[in-house]
Amino acid sequence: MRDDNGRRGRWYPVVVIAVLLAVLAAGAISNLVEHPQPRLVADGIPGRPSALPASSRSSDKYDDLVRHALADLDGLTLPNGATLAGWDGPWRYVWPRDASFVAVARCATGQYDEALAVLSFLDRVRPSTGRWEARYTDSGGQVGDGRAAQLDGSGWVLWATWFCRAGGKYWDLVQESADQIVSELGPDGLPAPSPDYWERPERELTLGTVAPLLTGLRSAVRIATDQQHPAEAARWRSAADTLSKATDRVFGPDYPRTPAQATSFVEPGVEPISLDGGADAIVTVLGPPFAPARTVVTTAINRAHAVLTQPNGGVTPGEDWRADGVSWTPQTALFALSAAARGDKATANSLLSWLDQHRTKTGALPEKVNRDLEPAGEAPLGWTAALVVLADTALQNPLPIP
């Protein structure tokens, strides 16, 4: 009689492995079909020269990159101070987040008049009560596309106002935005869920909302102290302490996008590991130049960078973002800024060089870099341009931390 059991035992693992590989391959193909390779929408602002004059170049490593970025910010900023996220279609609006970064980049490079023009536009469109809108038209109107207002705008605008030392000029903006953050904090010390830079409805609170609010409240405290408003400074400091402790309690120690569902304690003396939640590039905002450095946060930032790095060398926004192998330049530049501000020059230079190498033929920084290492999406993208300017500045001199 043949030993069928022995023969079956030999080929069974092979069949199982083959089936698993087939399932994985089918899943990969399905994902590529669902998320096709993105292409370039525009390679620069129409009518702009494709290169800067030779006389404007220098021997500095990122001189051409930064000069192009600043020139593109000039092109994206309208006479009324409205700074467009991008030149075309769905990008041709003013996001408070993007505009705040542009104002900070301007101030970091000594372009104070240009920065005040951006802040003045934000001051004109500020909500007297409630959350900032996700985005505004270039004339300051609301965009009727059904997007919910976003709480993170209150934090970004406060940070930009403090960074540019404009708290006295825009005190009403500061007071309204900081008080809005305070009013949103619940009994647990945290705000309710809100859309964030992922630009989608959220059922859970995200780090993309919490991190900017912490930076904003600390900035508001600094402004109120400088402007001699002790009552406001005390109120906002108390709220910042409450939010900070709640963030550590709910999001620590890994600071994922959403609160971890459970925590694994391996053994005494070993740091616990959070389960679920997903890494998010916004963890960078919990450290310099947005917040004082802490070892636990630095560890979380380095872990997130490793997890989110794509095969093409750039970074994806989050672990739960679509798995298409495409890198997004704002998040890549966020990690570059974070590394530069924390003194990790090797990582900062590596990421800035990658961004420099993947510009469009006109020299603009695109929104994405696809799987074939081609620029994709809108170009130039204002947020990326501002982040690159800040990262380069941080490599040369420390940026102030609220």
Instruction: With respect to residue 54, please indicate whether it lies within any of the assigned structural domains.
Output: yes
3 state SS of 372: coil
Assign residue 352 the CATH number of its domain.
1.50.10.10
In 3D, which of 369, 367, 373, 370 has the Cα closest to residue 88?
A: 367
Domain identity same for 265 and 194: yes
Domain identity same for 148 and 185: yes
Domain identity same for 248 and 160: yes
In 3D, which of 399, 385, 265 has the Cα closest to residue 339?
A: 399
Residue 144: pLDDT band (50, 70, 90) is confident
Instruction: With respect to residue 285, please indicate whether it lies within any of the assigned structural domains.
Output: yes
Domain identity same for 192 and 122: yes
Domain identity same for 359 and 302: yes
Residue 19: pLDDT band (50, 70, 90) is very low
Q: Which helix (H) or strand (E) holds 66?
A: helix 63-76
The percent of residues in the chain predicted with pLDDT above 70, rounded, is 85
Residue 51: pLDDT band (50, 70, 90) is low
Domain identity same for 82 and 182: yes
Residue 47: pLDDT band (50, 70, 90) is confident
DSSP state of 256: -
Domain identity same for 307 and 373: yes
The pLDDT tens digits for 268-291 are 555 555 556 899 999 999 999 999
pTM for the full model? 0.88
In 3D, which of 153, 155, 149 has the Cα closest to residue 216?
A: 155
Q: Which helix (H) or strand (E) holds 67?
A: helix 63-76
The answer to whether residue 23 scores a pLDDT higher than 80 is: no
The answer to whether residue 55 scores a pLDDT higher than 60 is: no
Instruction: With respect to residue 161, please indicate whether it lies within any of the assigned structural domains.
Output: yes
Domain identity same for 89 and 30: no
Instruction: With respect to residue 253, please indicate whether it lies within any of the assigned structural domains.
Output: yes
In 3D, which of 172, 220, 207, 159 has the Cα closest to residue 320?
A: 207
Question: Per-residue pLDDT averaged across 200-217, rounded?
Answer: 97
Instruction: With respect to residue 106, please indicate whether it lies within any of the assigned structural domains.
Output: yes
Domain identity same for 144 and 207: yes
Question: Per-residue pLDDT averaged across 10-37, rounded?
Answer: 52
Instruction: With respect to residue 402, please indicate whether it lies within any of the assigned structural domains.
Output: no
Instruction: With respect to residue 15, please indicate whether it lies within any of the assigned structural domains.
Output: yes
Instruction: With respect to residue 401, please indicate whether it lies within any of the assigned structural domains.
Output: no
**Mean of the per-residue pLDDT values for the chain?**
89
Question: Based on the structure, what is the number of domains in the chain?
Answer: 2
Q: Can you give the pLDDT at residue 270?
A: 56
Q: Can you give the pLDDT at residue 21?
A: 45
The pLDDT tens digits for 326-370 are 999 999 999 999 999 999 999 999 999 999 999 999 999 999 999
The pLDDT tens digits for 181-197 are 999 999 999 999 999 99
Q: Can you give the pLDDT at residue 76?
A: 97
Q: Can you give the pLDDT at residue 114?
A: 97
Domain identity same for 68 and 15: no
The pLDDT tens digits for 227-264 are 999 999 999 999 999 999 999 999 999 999 999 875 55
Which residue segment(s) compose the domain that 30 sits in? 1-34
Of the candidate ranges 71-75, 93-97, 151-155, 264-268, the one whose mean pLDDT is the lowest = 264-268
Q: Can you give the pLDDT at residue 274?
A: 53
Domain identity same for 199 and 151: yes
Domain identity same for 202 and 245: yes
